[in-house]
Every structure is written in structure tokens, then in C-alpha cells.
Amino acid sequence: MVIITADDFGKTGHATESILKCFFKRRITSASAMVFMEDSERAASLASQTSLEVGLHINFTMPFSAERVSPEILKHHKRVVSYLTKNKLAQVIYNPLLADSFHHLFSSQQKEFIRLYGRLPDFYNGHHHMHLCANMLLGRVLPEGGRIRRTFTFDAGEKDFFNRLYRYALDALVDGRFLSTDSFFSILPIEDHKRLQNILNRSARSNVEIEVHPENADEVEFLFSDRFRQLIASVHMGTFQDLNTRRQLKNRL
């Protein structure tokens, strides 16, 4: 099974519209929504009129752009953004001084999602993949047993030893405490059709997630192309909601 997830739903009007167009053309299966952003309210209203699967795109790195966000949330957000964007290594180091801020921000964003969508998120991921930072995983912030996005999957030789070791550790944590796909890839580079075909071939024997950003002109052009339509024509497309059933069936075999 392949899940094709469009990130940044609600970030801007353009992002929202591009994602919905892709969904109506059956180029994506799911979307991850941002809250406290300029188009979050409208995006939720539009999504409620569709069968689009929507998860929470947790934001720890980008300023909130909605008009009214509480000063308390903004205070915690500023602290976390400053920490995570100052140094790339920050995401792999647990900072006990920010533990309360991470918990507060996740709780606030999830509550806002529930207010907008009337239910819990179908799954979780993060802007710049910060849902997998040390404070989130070691601090046990994400709900255990929930459906989340794993880290990027790379074949042997694509990354150095320490990078692979780090990703192996992340995968072990994710697989031990959450529901996720077996592998995760970006659709980029879109010109490498052979790579994309190989990724889609994996979905015949395992669960694969592909990340897309339809707000980007080159990506949405490719998603709407006949070539992409042909690539996905023969694969089984599903959602994060399907992972429970597929995991149960796998355990019975």
C-alpha cells in the first residue's frame, strides 16, 4: 500500500487549494494540516466537505501566521523555534529546560486541531520532521500507539554510517511505540522517474508513505501529469487509517 501525503494544509490559501485539487484528482490520499496559520480555519471547513484524511502537521520551526494566537502559546513557540533553528544538532539533543514548552505546544496544537476538525488527527507528522526530535520522542509527548510518520528511508550507501545509525535508532523508537509505514520517501527529485517507480514497487510488499508539497509549482505540475498518473495507476493507494487493519492481518500470518 502507498500513502501519498500532502503537507502544509492550511498554511496559506494557495497551499490549501493546491492540496484539495490534488485530492479531487486522486493524486494524494492524505493531508497534514497546520493550525494557528492564516488559512487553518478555512482549510478545516473545506476538508469537512470531503473524505480527505487529515493529520496534524506539528509546527515547531515556523512562525504562526493566524491573527489571534494566545501570548502563552507564542511565548513557548518562540523558545522552541529559537532552539531548534539555531543548530541542526539541536533536534538530536534532549533539552530538559524546554520539556514543558514542547508538551504545551503539542497539546495546544492538538486542541486547536480538535476545535477546527471536531476530532483527533488521523495521524501526526511535523514541519521539517521535528515531531521526531529528541524532546518529542524521549519526552514521550506523542500519544503512544498513534499513527505517525517515520524518518526518511535510504538505501545502503546513500548516507554515511552515523546518519544511518541515527535513523535506525529513530525507526526502532517509532516501530516500538507507534503505528507507521514500513518506509518513507520524498517525491523529490521529481525528474528521477526510475527512483519513484522503485519506491512504488515497494508498496506491493509493504506500506510506503510518499511526501509531497503541492504548493510548489514543480511538484503540483508533476502530480497532475500523465506520467505520474501512469506511475500510480497499478498501485494500491490507502491511508493511515488502513494501517491498523494491515498490521492485524500481518500479525495473523
Kindly report, residue by residue over 44-71, the tens digit of the pLDDT: 999 999 999 999 999 999 999 999 999 9
- Residue 64, classed as helix, strand or coil, is coil
Kindly report, residue by residue over 119-169, the tens digit of the pLDDT: 999 999 999 999 999 999 999 999 999 999 999 998 777 788 788 889 999
Nearest one of 215, 216, 181 to 199, comparing CA atoms? 181
Where residue 253 falls among pLDDT bands split at 50, 70, 90?
A: very low
Task: Say which DSSP state 128 is in.
Answer: G
Kindly report, residue by residue over 158-171, the tens digit of the pLDDT: 788 788 889 999 99
Structural domains of the chain, with CATH: 2-252 (3.20.20.370)
On whether the CB atoms of residues 185 and 199 are closer than 8 A, the answer is yes
Nearest one of 67, 77, 82, 8 to 36, comparing CA atoms? 67
Q: Is the pTM of this model over 0.85?
A: yes
* Residue whose entry in the numeric block shows the C-alpha cell 524521549: 138
For residue 251, pLDDT beyond 50:
no
Longest dimension (CA), the chain: 52
